[in-house]
Amino acid sequence: MKTERDLNPNPLTWKDYLVVGSLLFGLFFGAGNLIFPLHLGQLSGANWGTAMVGFLVTAVLLPLLSVLAVSITRSEGVYDIGLPLGSTFALIFMVLIHAAIGPLFGTPRTATVSFTVGLAPLLPSSWAHSGLLVFSALFFLLAFVISYRESSILSSIGKVLNPLFLLLLLVVFLLAFLNPISAAGAQPVTTAYQHNAFFNGFLQGYNTMDALAGLAFGVTVVTAVKQMGKTTPKSNAKVTAKAGVLATALIGLIYVVLIWLGATTLGRFKLSADGGIAFSQLVNFYLGRTGQVLLAVLITVTCLTTAVGLVAAFAQDFHQHFPKVSYHVWLALTCLASFLTANFGLDTIISWSTPLLMFLYPFAMVLILLSIFSPLFKRDSRVYVWTVGLTTIAAVLDMIAAFPPVISQTVWAKALGAWQQRFLPFASLGMDWVVPAAVGAFIGLCWHFGSQYRAKTVTTKYAHQDN
């Protein structure tokens, strides 16, 4: 049997690992990674440490595992991750993932965050709606033009301005350490975080959407590692893991500081509606109006860079699976849809994104874990069907419960919620998918290994008869 070998048998240098690590950092760190940790700190107050641990699981560890899942299964994208469940499921899953990180929530958020954090504090409050309308129109028009021409101008500018944004963030961090607004451990804790801080932090990590992004764009990282000569799944995953630890360690460190910062703001500011407002308050407190102007420029360019990547990826993937519609038409559609969604405002986007994330994340987590361990059961579709099938029940119920009151407080939704709380373990924590998924995995694995054992027994029997 021929053994697979890497095209490059030599160990990679630290520079190579830094290149892959920076690619991962750029893939994951966007608008949501700034505002949600801050808001989590405000919600958890004195319990910020416990909430932080839960947040790091879904916002740091899971995205890294999602990229490893793509590498281990040799997938070309999120479609291939769902393929063991059939082409129909894979296509629907791909569409939902791209819709979530694309025009429904993720991409519009790049415009609303840059406006809320950067520009809105510089404008009169009466201009908020009209300002967002004009800003988002120009924002997505520019994203469309750059993506249409596949220009490298923005990426070149981003290589200079994105580090400047991180430098501004570092300055705020240093000033906060030298002169904290208040003691984080002495701040009030909201009701939800008084007893279940870990699990609420875990669920807040969904909002970054990074595990979904890892499934959708992980192939970019895997391809970069292959171009370095690490072509076998084992070595590719090993390099991705090492580089991923570098990138996610930096992201995790930023999260820790942001969550702590969010808790300290309660000593001077009220609990904000979202982390965008809290970040603006922080910058104004430490750097004044000059810092706010600088922030407006840097965060707009940073978010625009992210938006260009998102709209281009959406158009490319949809053109690949629906080729009758051209790349440029898909590009126009996603930019237009993102513009329309953005003008509902950041708070509305967050409130309506939560139900879809509560539905998608259980599937994502289950598929990531199945993909990583798939060599053990040869990616047997029966294991996937049982695990994902039983996960679906809890995922649908979690989605219904997470909808805004216009849906979640209807008679039928309340009846389903009561059934969910009564019969599904951990439902009150938003983790009721865990037991059904574990039961499904157990059944699927028993079926797989049982079939293997029976096949081996039959083969041995006939071999003895032949002898």
Task: Write the pLDDT tens digit of every residue in 53-75.
Answer: 999 999 999 998 988 888 888 78
Q: What is the pLDDT of residues 5-51, one digit of tens each?
A: 777 788 888 888 888 888 788 778 777 788 899 999 999 999 999 99
**Tokens at residue 7, please?**
């095209």
Q: Which CA distances in Å does 289 have to 35, 119, 276?
A: 20, 11, 16
Alpha helices in 45-127 (DSSP H): 48-56, 62-72, 78-82, 87-99, 106-114
Measuring CA to CA, which residue among 305, 301, 210, 283 is closest to residue 248? 210
Please give the structure tokens belonging to residue 317. 């993937």
pLDDT of residue 1: 42
N- to C-terminal Cα distance for the chain?
26
Q: Are the CB atoms for 355 and 395 separated by under 8 Å?
A: no
What is the pLDDT at residue 432?
A: 93
Structure pTM? 0.87
Cα separation, 41 vs 23, whole angstroms: 28
Dist. CA 459–CA 461, nearest whole Å: 5
Please report, as a single letter, which amino acid is at residue 27.
Answer: L
Q: How many whole angstroms separate alpha carbon 104 and alpha carbon 180?
A: 37
Per-residue DSSP letter, 184? G
Of 320, 321, 105, residue with least CA distance to 208: 105
d(CA 156, CA 344) in angstroms, rounded, equals: 31
Query: Which domains are seen in the chain, by residue range?
Result: 14-352 (1.20.1740.10), 377-466 (no CATH)
From residue 250, how far is each of 7, 24, 60, 95, 276 by CA, in Å? Answer: 30, 11, 10, 31, 21
Model pLDDT, residue 50 = 96
Distance CA 22, CA 464 (A): 58
450 token code pair: 């049982």
Distance CA 294, CA 113 (A): 15
Residue type, 415: A
Amino acid found at 213 = A
Q: One-letter amino acid identity for 136? A: S
Select from 276, 251, 263 the least CA-distant residue to 49: 263
pLDDT at 17: 84
If we measure between CA atoms, which residue out of 391, 381, 359 comes closest to residue 212?
Answer: 359
Ranges of residues in the chain with a pLDDT under 50 are 1, 154
d(CA 306, CA 133) in angstroms, rounded, equals 20
Contact 346, 276 (CB under 8 A): yes
